[in-house]
């Protein structure tokens, strides 16, 4: 079997592939047309971030069985197209954890002591001690948004600097917070109390432009902000204005909304330290992810062993046709519930009813956990590590089975417990038509796909018309609408599927409409 390595990969990774008995071609720097012209002859494709594996490339990949990404991010792979074609997509979560955490701390020091600026001045032959007055890290408060692998490592290192650490993560348990030596707070509290703020989350609808004009306004005067996570979490225009006004004293950025940036104005400000996406750029990290992806690709192609797959669980081949529709349903229900749940969850119960109770439920439970954890962790959670991550975060997972499924042949229900409790049920209308049929006390028939607005509202005339008017005015098309209510004139929920996501400003406008109590944007 042949494997194509289309991006720069450590020689150690290529050596592993060859030793496994695979024929390896290294062809870097190919354009889309050239990649499409050659991909049909390969069983495996190993990439980093440069190669764009689009739906067109996947369509041309007539023999491809696996795509391996040396790294965690998969923004450059059309996972839906790969899954539809039965191609396993793997990444290497954790391979750059230490490196990225160390880079965060390096930027923290550089920003606090103006090291790059002072070094640049010296290189120009200028000795100017007064200009580069810094601040100490000792006893300062560091706010960490996102306590996954990287955020947790940053916390451990910051404790060694004797900093006070605040942490925001919806899935961080009290026990885990105590173990890490951090104070668990709301994101608003973190913004208000922190001297330094660092973000370590994926880019999702909930985290997009999390740091913006409004959130900056509640921060301390002289706050300093670090982003080594994803471009787009910080609104760069709002950060620029806050730096110019002096509200924000400094910023350290490794990632940008566009890479490379179209406008380097933000980077040129005196208080800003910038690096060109170097979070994973160490020899050790590149060797770690290269060897990991090579071993994973080899194991799958030679032995059929799936590890760190983001689109397939490890299940016997003969069970795949039967279980796949339920895996899809469970994962989408988990993701849907996660994006509605507003507080830390301590327990997830997956209930299998009717014919669903007769299945091999273990991979379905893992699919539900992956769906639930992915909106926060995204690239670092997969079918292999989802149970481990849930346990690490103090989430107790239970299964229940019952022959009774009411009016349906089979049904899966999720019960999410924390300070509050949410409950949702789903079924299959056909093998390719998963539906969510209950959300808390409301019967519904939701097709869980794409971008949706989940609204809690009063059951009054004009609600739907007002939503349609606001969206229509902004050119956003409504694809489908689903409704559920307790009783006539009482409380209700509305789910509106739209063809494109709403901006934060437009979401706020929808929230202000009469009889609307709350709005959540959900993306599946």
193 included as an active-site residue: no
Nearest to 222 by CA among 201, 251, 253, 182: 251
Phi-psi region of 139 (alpha: psi -120 to 50; beta: other; left: phi over 0): left
Report phi then psi at 486, rounded to 5.
Answer: -70, -50
197-202 average pLDDT score: 94
Query: Catalytic pick from 48, 200, 224, 230?
Result: 230
Confidence at residue 379, expressed as pLDDT on a 0 to 100 scale:
57
Looking at per-residue confidence, does 140 or 338 come out higher? 140
CB 293 within 8 A of CB 90: yes
Kindly tell me if the per-residue pLDDT of 272 is higher than 90: yes
Spatial separation of the C-alpha atoms in residues 34 and 27, rounded to whole Å? 10
Active-site pick, 277, 347, 445, 480: 277
User: In sequence order, what DSSP letters do the residues of 347-370 get, joined into one string?
Assistant: EEEEEEEEGGGGS--HHHHHHHHH
Nearest CA-CA partner of 170 in 195, 206, 198, 142 = 206
Model pLDDT, residue 280 = 87
- From the candidates 34, 179, 259, 474, which is the catalytic residue? 259
Structure tokens at 181: 């030596």
Residues 382, 373: Cα–Cα separation, whole Å: 9
Residue 263 is predicted with a pLDDT of 92
Instruction: For residue 292, count CB atoms less than 10 angstroms from its CB and return exposed for 0-12, middle for 13-18, buried for 19 or more.
Output: buried
* CATH topology agreement for domains 1-94+282-312 and 97-274: yes
Domain boundaries, the chain: 1-94+282-312, 97-274, 313-401+408-416, 417-523
| Residue 191 banded pLDDT, cuts 50, 70, 90 | very high
Mean pLDDT for 383-401 is 84
Task: Tell me what pLDDT residue 420 has.
Answer: 84
Percent of the chain with pLDDT over 70: 98
Tell me the pLDDT tens digit for each residue of 85-117. 878 899 998 888 999 999 999 999 999 999 999
Give residue 334's pLDDT: 94
Using alpha carbons only, give the angle 373, 376, 377 rounded to the nearest 5 degrees: 75
Residue 232 in contact with residue 208, Cβ under 8 Å?
A: yes
Q: What is the structure's pLDDT at 277?
A: 93
Q: How far, CA to CA in Å, does 147 sit from each of 235, 331, 365, 392? A: 21, 22, 23, 11
Closest C-alpha among 435, 244, 245 to residue 329? 435
CA distance 437 to 353: 14
Is 277 labeled as catalytic in the residue annotation? yes
Burial class (CB in 10 A: 0-12, 13-18, 19+), 495: buried
Tens-place pLDDT, residues 13-72: 999 999 999 999 999 999 999 999 999 999 999 999 889 999 999 999 999 999 999 988
Known catalytic residue at 103: no
Query: Token pair for residue 242?
Result: 């806050």
Nearest Cα to 522, choosing from 501, 504, 508? 501
For the four alpha carbons of 39, 44, 48 and 52, in that order, the dihedral sign comes to: positive
Give the SS3 label for residue 275: coil
pLDDT digits (tens, 9 = 90+) for 30-39: 999 999 999 9
Q: Which CATH number fits domain 417-523: 3.40.50.2300, 3.40.720.10, 3.30.70.260, 3.40.50.300?
A: 3.30.70.260
* 471 contacts 511 by C-beta, under 8 angstroms: no
Q: How far apart are CA 361 and CA 402, in angstroms?
A: 13
* Residue-level pLDDT at 315: 67
Give the mean pLDDT of 274-287: 92
pLDDT given at position 332 = 94
**Which CATH number does the domain 97-274 belong to among 3.50.50.60, 3.40.630.30, 3.40.50.720, 3.30.70.2190?**
3.40.50.720
pLDDT of residue 485: 83
CATH number of 313-401+408-416: 3.30.1330.90
Please tell me whether residue 312 adopts helix, strand or coil conformation: coil
Split at pLDDT 50, 70, 90, the class of 486 is confident
Question: In terms of DSSP bridges, do strands 451-458 and 516-523 run parallel, antiparallel, or are they unpaired?
Answer: antiparallel
Contact 413, 424 (CB under 8 A): yes
Convert the pLDDT of each residue in 330-371 to its tens digit: 999 999 999 887 667 889 999 999 999 999 898 899 999 999
Note the pLDDT of residue 49. 84
Q: How far apart are CA 335 and CA 156, in angstroms?
A: 29
> What CATH number has the domain spanning 1-94+282-312?
3.40.50.720
């Amino acid at each position: 079997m042949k494997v194509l390595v289309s991006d720069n990969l450590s020689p150690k990774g290529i050596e592993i592939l060859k030793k496994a008995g695979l024929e390896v071609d290294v062809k870097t720097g190919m354009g889309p047309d050239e990649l499409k012209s050659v991909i049909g002859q390969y069983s495996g494709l190993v990439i980093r971030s440069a190669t764009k594996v689009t739906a067109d490339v996947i369509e041309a990949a007539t023999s491809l069985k696996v795509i391996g990404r040396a790294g965690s991010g998969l923004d450059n792979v059309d996972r839906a197209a790969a899954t539809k074609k039965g191609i396993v997509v793997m990444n290497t979560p954790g391979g750059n954890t230490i490196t990225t955490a160390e880079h965060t701390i390096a930027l923290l020091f550089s920003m606090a002591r103006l090291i790059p600026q002072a070094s640049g001045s010296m290189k120009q032959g200028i000795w100017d001690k007064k200009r580069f007055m810094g601040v100490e890290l000792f006893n300062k408060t560091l706010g960490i948004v996102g306590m996954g692998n990287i955020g947790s490592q940053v916390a451990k290192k910051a404790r060694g600097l004797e900093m006070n650490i605040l942490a925001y993560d919806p899935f961080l348990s009290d026990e885990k917070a105590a173990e890490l030596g951090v104070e668990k707070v709301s994101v608003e509290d973190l913004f208000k109390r922190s001297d330094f703020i660092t973000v370590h989350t994926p880019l999702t609808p909930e985290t997009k432009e999390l740091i913006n004009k409004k959130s900056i306004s509640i921060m301390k005067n002289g706050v300093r902000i670090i982003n080594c996570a994803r471009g787009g979490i910080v609104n760069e225009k709002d950060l620029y204005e806050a730096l110019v006004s002096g509200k924000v004293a400094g910023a350290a950025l490794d990632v940008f909304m566009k890479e490379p940036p179209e406008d380097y104005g933000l980077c040129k400000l005196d208080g800003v330290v910038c690096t060109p996406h170097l979070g994973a750029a160490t020899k050790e990290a590149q060797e770690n992810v290269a060897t990991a992806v090579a071993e994973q690709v080899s194991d799958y192609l030679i032995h059929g062993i799936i590890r760190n797959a983001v689109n397939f669980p490890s299940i016997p081949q003969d069970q795949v046709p039967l279980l796949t529709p339920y895996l899809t349903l469970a994962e989408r229900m988990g993701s849907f519930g996660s994006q509605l749940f507003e507080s830390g969850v301590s327990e997830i119960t997956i209930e299998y009813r009717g014919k669903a109770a007769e299945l091999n439920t273990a991979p379905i439970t893992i699919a539900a956990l992956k769906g639930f954890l992915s909106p926060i962790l995204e690239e670092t959670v997969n079918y292999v590590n989802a149970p481990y991550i849930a346990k690490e975060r103090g989430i107790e997972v239970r299964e229940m089975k019952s022959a009774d499924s009411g009016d349906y042949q089979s049904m899966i229900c999720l019960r999410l417990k924390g300070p509050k409790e949410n409950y949702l049920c789903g079924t299959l209308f056909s093998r390719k038509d998963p539906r969510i049929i209950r959300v808390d006390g409301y019967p519904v028939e939701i097709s869980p796909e794409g971008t949706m607005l989940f609204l809690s509202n009063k059951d009054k005339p004009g609600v739907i018309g007002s939503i349609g008017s606001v969206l229509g005015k902004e050119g956003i098309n409504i694809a489908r609408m689903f409704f559920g209510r307790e009783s006539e004139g009482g409380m209700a929920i509305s789910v509106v599927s739209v063809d494109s996501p709403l901006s934060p400003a437009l979401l706020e406008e929808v929230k202000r409409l009469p009889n609307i109590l709350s709005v959540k944007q959900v993306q599946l």
